[in-house]
Amino acid sequence: METDFVNWLLARIPADPRLEVPPGDDAAVLRPPAGRRTVVTVDMLMEGTDFILGADCPARAVGHKALAVNLSDLAAMAARPEAAVVAVSLPSRGGDALGRGLLEGIEALAAEHGVTLAGGDTNAWDGPLVISITAIGSVMPGVAWRRDGARPGDLLVVTGAFGGSLLGRHLAVMPRCREALAIAARHRVHAAIDVSDGLTLDVSRMMAASGTAAVLDAARIPIHPDAVRMSRLPGDGRTPLDHALADGEDFELVLAMPPDAAQAAVAAGADLPHSTPLTIIGEVIAGQGLFLRHPDGAQTPLPPRGFLHDFAG
């Protein structure tokens, strides 16, 4: 029953000084960090679209991802994670066990990033599992990273590697929160975005917001080993580079940085949390659109590709 589940859940949430009124009331009351701005993001995951429950995708993994994708959005703003609110619609059959598994995944990642669970809502229905998390972060006034600040002459820097995420990394998302905070503390960043839907698609969004264009160097795109593995699957027919450019669900960061800051950040990349690599993959130019620079120096238009929800009709 819902009451038993909620009582179990509330008993697991530790007290936190950021909560003036803790979970269990009609609403939580947060104490915003002094002198900082509040950053709010929300993301919904639906069974059948974002995940398929099973042996390779237990409820704990779904809970982890549901929080991780929100923390990735906070990382793209250089915001420090603070709190999260969880809403879940559980299937009527087996919902209790699913809910407990979800919380295990959420709790573990929340503890890793210092996130307090501020509350939420539970429902039951005859449909599939749906989970929506609202994450709250904080940032000093006027310094939040945005999509719209890229300038011609900036270099494009990425964390990590790309492609083949559906072989498992789409569930084991590692939000780059600590990396973002470390970079923001040491280097100038003009614009940023996280890669949720596809490298070319999300870079194109940054360029559109900034009123600029970009050239990506084919030889410099960091290709994940999963992209190579996926390209070798029977019937795939795509190159590792194509997977890296368009697969999505990588949840890495793309940063537009002045050349001196970009070079300094890459040189100091080994000092980042998890020794996360930084790579310069291209540059921002005047104009519109995306272009791919091939190893022979030729440039061709690069259509933005990735995942888009289809709202038919």
pTM score of the predicted model: 0.95
Q: Within this chain, do residues 70 and 97 fall inside the same structural domain, yes or no? A: yes
Q: Is the pLDDT of residue 269 over 90?
A: no
Q: Within this chain, do residues 20 and 126 fall inside the same structural domain, yes or no? A: yes
Q: Is the pLDDT of residue 270 over 70?
A: no
Is position 63 within any domain?
yes
**pLDDT by residue (tens digit) across 245-264?**
999 999 999 999 999 999 99
Mean pLDDT computed over 270-275: 83
Q: Within this chain, do residues 212 and 289 fall inside the same structural domain, yes or no? A: yes
Domain boundary residue, one of 139, 173, 203: 139
Q: Within this chain, do residues 177 and 45 fall inside the same structural domain, yes or no? A: no
* b/e 185-217 (16+ beta carbons within 10 angstroms → b): eebebbbbbbbbbbbbbbbbbbbeebebbbbbb
Q: Within this chain, do residues 109 and 226 fall inside the same structural domain, yes or no? A: no
CA angle 262, 265, 270 (to 5 degrees): 145
Q: Which domain does 45 fall in, by range?
A: 2-139
Is position 180 within any domain?
yes
Tell me which DSSP letter residue 287 carries. S
Q: Within this chain, do residues 121 and 175 fall inside the same structural domain, yes or no? A: no
Q: Within this chain, do residues 117 and 240 fall inside the same structural domain, yes or no? A: no
Q: Is the pLDDT of residue 191 over 80?
A: yes
Is position 309 within any domain?
no
Is position 144 within any domain?
no
pLDDT at 313: 63
Is position 150 within any domain?
no
In the chain, the number of structural domains is 2
Query: Mean pLDDT across the chain, nearest whole number?
Result: 95
Domain boundary residue, one of 109, 139, 169: 139
In the chain, DSSP assigns E strands to 19-21, 29-30, 37-46, 80-91, 116-125, 130-139, 155-159, 191-194, 213-217, 253-257, 278-285, 289-293, 299-301
Mean pLDDT computed over 203-228: 98
Q: What is the CATH number of the domain that holds 256?
A: 3.90.650.10
Domain boundary residue, one of 104, 139, 174: 139
Tell me which DSSP letter residue 3 carries. H
Is position 75 within any domain?
yes
Q: Within this chain, do residues 69 and 206 fall inside the same structural domain, yes or no? A: no
**pLDDT by residue (tens digit) across 16-71?**
889 899 888 889 899 989 999 999 999 999 999 899 999 999 999 999 999 999 99
pLDDT at 178: 97
Nearest to 204 by CA among 302, 280, 278: 302
Nearest to 281 by CA among 271, 291, 272, 273: 291
In three-state form (DSSP H/G/I as H, E/B as E, the rest C), the secondary structure along 48-63 is: CCCECCECCECHHHHH
CB-based contacts of 239, cutoff 8 Å, min separation 6: 231
Q: Within this chain, do residues 111 and 186 fall inside the same structural domain, yes or no? A: no
Rg (C-alpha) for the chain, rounded Å, is 20
The helix (H) or strand (E) run that includes residue 239 is none
pLDDT at 12: 86
For residue 293, the cross-strand partners are: 217, 299
Q: Within this chain, do residues 121 and 159 fall inside the same structural domain, yes or no? A: no
